[in-house]
């Protein structure tokens, strides 16, 4: 086995703040929507906690963006410009997830610090981090103070449009969390990827004959 340093401390801190924030926002968000069913906390407390953690998530996202942009690591999210290579990579990876992994084939993608994600992950994370997350954070900010941001809400199509966007993206991101949790278990062992997000190092099998 060889160790590959994939996750700098900054990334690991961001990841766990992000993870905890998501869990709290999901729970409090459900409490706001279904207060009679959930009954976890008082409505006002749920609103205050949801708003507070929402701002934590905004700040955390800005830190992520600045770090990745100015460190040059943002490139790990960018798919190759060679469209044919990208499509072939997606098909190969999809075949592995849907078939190869079940018959013991090796993962066609080998993570490195400069090439962390396979083509499918690149496409998914690019949309999530650079499209859906900004939209979710902006829509949440508008809903936080509808009077102050009334003009912007009107430009966006009204409160119902902003609220619908916020809820739909919430559903999409929550669904992705379950996919993410499954994919996390697909390392050399079910906990390999999880350990790496604590230590920064991921253990990979060394390829023979190289």
Domain residues of the chain, as ranges?
2-204
How many residues in total does the chain contain?
Answer: 210
Q: How far apart are CA 114 and CA 111, in angstroms?
A: 8
List per-residue pLDDT tens for the chain, 210 residues long: 678 888 889 889 999 999 999 999 999 999 988 877 777 788 899 999 999 999 999 999 999 999 988 988 888 888 888 899 999 999 999 999 989 989 988 889 888 878 889 999 999 999 999 999 999 999 999 999 999 999 999 999 999 999 999 999 999 999 999 989 988 888 788 888 899 999 999 877 665 444
CA 127 to CA 72: how far, in whole Å? 18
Q: Spell out the CATH class of 2-204.
A: mainly alpha
pTM of the model: 0.86
Alpha helices of 39-158 — where are they, by DSSP H? 43-71, 83-98, 119-127, 133-144, 150-155
Strands in the chain per DSSP E: 2-5, 201-204
Determine contact, residues 98/139, Cβ cutoff 8 Å.
no
SS3 210: coil
- Residue 201's beta-bridge partner residues? 5
Please report the pLDDT score of residue 186 as a whole number. 84
User: Tell me, what's the pLDDT at 205?
Assistant: 67
């Amino acid at each position: 086995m060889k160790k590959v340093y994939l996750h700098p401390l900054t990334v690991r801190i961001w990841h766990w703040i992000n993870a905890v924030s998501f869990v709290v926002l999901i729970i409090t968000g459900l409490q706001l929507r279904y207060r009679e069913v959930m009954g976890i906390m008082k409505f006002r407390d749920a609103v205050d906690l949801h708003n507070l953690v929402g701002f934590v998530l905004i700040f955390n996202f800005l830190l992520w963006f600045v770090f990745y942009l100015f460190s040059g690591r943002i490139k790990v999210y960018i798919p190759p410009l060679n469209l044919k290579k990208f499509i072939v990579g997606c098909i190969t990876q999809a075949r592995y997830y849907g078939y190869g992994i079940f018959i013991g084939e090796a993962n066609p993608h080998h993570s490195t610090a400069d090439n962390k994600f396979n083509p499918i992950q690149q496409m998914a994370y690019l949309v999530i981090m650079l499209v859906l997350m900004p939209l979710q954070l902006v829509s949440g900010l508008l809903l936080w103070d509808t009077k102050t941001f009334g003009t912007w809400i009107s430009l966006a199509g009204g409160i119902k449009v902003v609220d619908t966007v916020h809820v739909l993206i919430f559903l999409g991101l929550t669904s992705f969390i379950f996919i993410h949790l499954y994919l996390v278990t697909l390392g050399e062992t079910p906990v390999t990827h999880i350990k790496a997000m604590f230590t920064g190092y991921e253990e990979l099998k060394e390829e023979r004959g190289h």
